[in-house]
Structure 1
Amino acid sequence: MKLALISLAKDDLEGTGPIALLPLFDGTLLDLQIRAAQRFGCEKFIFLCPVTHGALLQKIDAMKQQGLDAEYVRTPSDLVQYATDQDHIIYIADGILPNAEIVEQLSGEPQELLFTVLHGDEYQEFERIDLNQRWLGIVSLNTSRLSALIDIPDDWEVGSALLRTAVQADCPRAIISDRRMGAGAIAHVQSEISAEQFTRRKLRDMPAKGSNFLNRFLLHPLVKRSLPRLWKKKAAPQYLGIFTLTAGAGAILTAAFGYAVASLILLFAGSVAQYMRAAMVQFGSVVTVRDWTRLALEFLAATAVVILLVKASVTPTLAPNLVIAFLLPAHLLLSRAGTLNRRLALMKPDMRLILLVLLLATIFGAFPYGLYGAALYTGLFLVLDRYLTKDSPEKPALRGQ
């Protein structure tokens, strides 16, 4: 069994509390360390904290309610009672967070491994092993080696003791290159300032592949500016989801009363809120689940558009207009389910883009023409995408999002 040992022994540079309890997006640094340990395949979580903190006790209680095995210890000698010689322990030092590549490396079969970097002036904050290497705060060891920690003084750092144990046992070393370090292989958070820097780096690297021009050049920058404030409110995803559904329901109500512009504005605002919610969830979710809020909004949007179309149509044009109204979402589903040629990424239609087209057409009093234009655009996109994909099969295609 894999055990995760996460240290909360050091306070941040401001002295406000353990580094692991510094707030980041979607919770604290400790939350991200726990998620990393879950991806390691750890089945038990042990928190090393010499001083009892209420926030840690609350976290342990919450984990137990979720069915996770979590405990905390104050001294190195207490560690032995939670592990057998057949177990394996992965230690994460204060403020250390590995990236997905290192997580993948440790998620396989248990192996002894010490993560290091070649000595350099830019790595002064990491503990030095010898003349050439510094330790990056992560070590994977057999729990049988914990017996060496029983007799160490309580004022010794467990991380340093584990490091010495690993070095004396000639534990294999995984040397992280400067290039990988520069790409964020290991994040070392020590203060509120470094926490903000880490957050900005995550926002900078937030993927925008496969997004059309509306998402990439307007909504993506807007989300990057908004997320730091939204992350400070733990209930923000729920609030955004409620707003999304409320906006969709309000759009149906205003459409029924004939307020087409107001209805489409509500739908567009709800779709933007859903886009922000999806951006927040992608950082915090361990497992990707079906986004029911998005599906509900799409149903509400389709209902509102049909109501607006019925009100804007006369008897001779109602039937063809309804055909187009049902053809448009079919085009959107096909474009989402299929592959996407890279050259067409900026042109890919989605619900937000269609709603914006309909809103602009409605402002100029031409809602049905906007619907026809949107259906024509999505249809041409599907044809062009299929043609280019067949024309260049050797080029990898992006999965539609």
Structure 2
Amino acid sequence: MKLALISLAKDDLDGHGPIALLPLFAGTLLDLQINAAQRFGCEKFIFLCPVTHGALLQKIDAMKQQGFDAEYVRSPSDLVQYASDQDHIIYLADGILPNAEIVDQLSGPPQEVLFTVLQAEEYQEFERIDLNQRWLGIVSLNASRLVAMIDIPDEWEVGSALLRTAVQADCPRAIISDRRMGAGAIAHIQSELSAEQFTRRKLRDMPAEKDNFLNRFLLRPLIKRSLPKLWTKRSAPQYLQIFSLTAGLAGMVTAGFGYAVASLGLLLLGSNAQFARTSMAQFDNGIKSRDWTGLVLDLLIASSVAILVLHASSAVTLAANLVIFLLLLAHLLLLRTGPGNIRLALIKPDIRLVLLILLLAGIFGPIAFGIYAAALYSGLSLVLDRFLARDSSKNPGIEQD
């Protein structure tokens, strides 16, 4: 069994409490460390905290209510009783957060490994192992090696003791290159300032290469500005979920009365709220489950637009309009589920762009014109997408996402 040992032994540089309890995104740094440990495959969580903190006790109680095996210890001697010789322990030092690449490496079969970086002036904050390397605060060890720590003094740092144990056992070392360190392989958060810098970097690096022009140049910048404020409200994702579904239902009701502009405006607002919620989910600190909100909202949008098409059609044009509407849905579905090409991303339509086209058509004329325009636009995008995909398959040298 894999055990996660997460340290809360050091206070932040501002003296406000353990580094792991610094606020980050919608929770704390500790939440992100626990999330990383879950992805390691850890089944038990042990928190090393020499001084009891109410926030940690509340976190442990919440984890136990969710069915997790969580405990906290105050000293190395207490630590030994929670692990057997058959267990494997992964230690995260104070303020240390690995990136996805290291998480994937540790999520495989248990292996002993010590993560290090070559000695350089910019890595002075990390503990030195020898003349050539410094330890990055992550070590994976067989729990049987904890026996060597039974007699160490309580005032010793467990992290340093684990490091000495790993070095004496000739534990294999994984050396992280300067390039990977520069790309954020290890985040070392020590204060509110470094937490803020980490947050800004994560916001800056939010994936946007697959966004079309509406998302990339309008919605994504607005979301990046809004997220820091939304993170201060832990219930913000639930509020956004409620708003998006409520807007979808309201849009469907107004569509039933034939108010095209009002209906499409509500649907667009609901879709934008869901887009913001999806962006927040990238930083979700809990175990991710299947999100049905987007699917429900898409069904509400499709139903509402179908109702508007019925209202806007005469007996003569009804069949043609419905056929074009179904073609539009098929185009969007194929574009969403297809392989896609990064070169086409900027003009690739999605549900929000289609709603904007329909809204403009409803303001300046019949919504049927918007259906035809959106179907033509999505159809051309689909043809280009498939053509570029086929062209790239014939020329493997062309990079695809």
* TM-score (norm: length of structure 2): 0.95
Q: How far apart in 1 are the matches of 2:89 and 2:354?
A: 52
Q: Deviations over 1:216-264 (max 9, x none)?
A: 1211111111111111211111111100001111112222233221111
**Residue in 2 that maps onto 1:24:** 24
Letter in 1 for 2:116: T
Q: Secondary structure at the match of 2:253?
A: helix
Deviation at 1:126, TM superposition (A): 1.1
Letter in 1 for 2:105: Q
- Please show how residues 89-168 of structure 1 align to structure 2 within 5 Å: 89-168=89-168
**Residue in 2 that maps onto 1:48:** 48
Q: How far apart in 2 are the matches of 1:58 and 1:76?
A: 23
Q: How far apart in 2 are the matches of 1:321 and 1:334?
A: 20
Q: Deviations over 1:186-214 (max 9, x none)?
A: 10111111111111111111112322111
- Please show how residues 191-206 of structure 1 align to structure 2 within 5 Å: 191-206=191-206
Q: How far apart in 2 are the matches of 1:34 and 1:288?
A: 13
- Please show how residues 231-246 of structure 1 align to structure 2 within 5 Å: 231-246=231-246
**Could you tell me whether the CA contact under 8 Å between 2:254 and 2:263 is conserved in 1?**
yes
Deviation at 1:291, TM superposition (A): 2.9
Q: Secondary structure at the match of 2:316?
A: helix
**Could you tell me whether the CA contact under 8 Å between 2:6 and 2:94 is conserved in 1?**
yes
**Residue in 1 that maps onto 2:339:** 339
Uncovered stretches (5+) of structure 1, i.e. residues with no partner: none
Q: How far apart in 2 are the matches of 1:288 and 1:17?
A: 29
Letter in 2 for 1:138: I
Deviation at 1:289, TM superposition (A): 4.2
**Could you tell me whether the CA contact under 8 Å between 1:10 and 1:94 is conserved in 2?**
yes
**Residue in 1 that maps onto 2:228:** 228
Q: How far apart in 1 are the matches of 2:159 and 2:34?
A: 18
Deviation at 1:286, TM superposition (A): 6.2
**Could you tell me whether the CA contact under 8 Å between 1:339 and 1:397 is conserved in 2?**
no
Letter in 1 for 2:76: P
**Residue in 1 that maps onto 2:383:** 383
**Residue in 2 that maps onto 1:213:** 213
Letter in 2 for 1:267: L
Deviation at 1:342, TM superposition (A): 2.5
Higher alpha-carbon deviation: 217-226 or 72-81:
217-226
- Structure 1 vs Structure 2: percent identity of aligned residues? 76
Deviation at 1:142, TM superposition (A): 1.6
Q: How far apart in 2 are the matches of 1:60 and 1:288?
A: 19
Q: Secondary structure at the match of 1:203?
A: helix
Q: Deviations over 1:347-381 (max 9, x none)?
A: 21110000000111111123211111101111122
Q: How far apart in 2 are the matches of 1:117 and 1:396?
A: 31
Q: How far apart in 2 are the matches of 1:115 and 1:339?
A: 36
Letter in 2 for 1:102: I
1:262 pairs with 2:254:
no
Q: How far apart in 2 are the matches of 1:238 and 1:321?
A: 37
Letter in 1 for 2:231: W
**Residue in 2 that maps onto 1:3:** 3
1:295 pairs with 2:292:
no
**Could you tell me whether the CA contact under 8 Å between 1:44 and 1:69 is conserved in 2?**
yes
**Could you tell me whether the CA contact under 8 Å between 2:6 and 2:46 is conserved in 1?**
yes
Deviation at 1:313, TM superposition (A): 2.2
- Please show how residues 224-373 of structure 1 align to structure 2 within 5 Å: 224-284=224-284, 289-373=289-373
Deviation at 1:396, TM superposition (A): 5.3
**Residue in 1 that maps onto 2:173:** 173
- Please show how residues 181-196 of structure 1 align to structure 2 within 5 Å: 181-196=181-196
**Could you tell me whether the CA contact under 8 Å between 2:331 and 2:379 is conserved in 1?**
yes
**Residue in 2 that maps onto 1:39:** 39
Letter in 2 for 1:61: D
Uncovered stretches (5+) of structure 2, i.e. residues with no partner: none
Deviation at 1:397, TM superposition (A): 4.4
- Structure 1 residue ranges (4+ consecutive) displaced by more than 6 angstroms after TM superposition: none
* TM-score (norm: length of structure 1): 0.95
Q: Secondary structure at the match of 1:201?
A: helix
Q: Secondary structure at the match of 2:117?
A: strand
Deviation at 1:169, TM superposition (A): 2.0
**Residue in 1 that maps onto 2:88:** 88
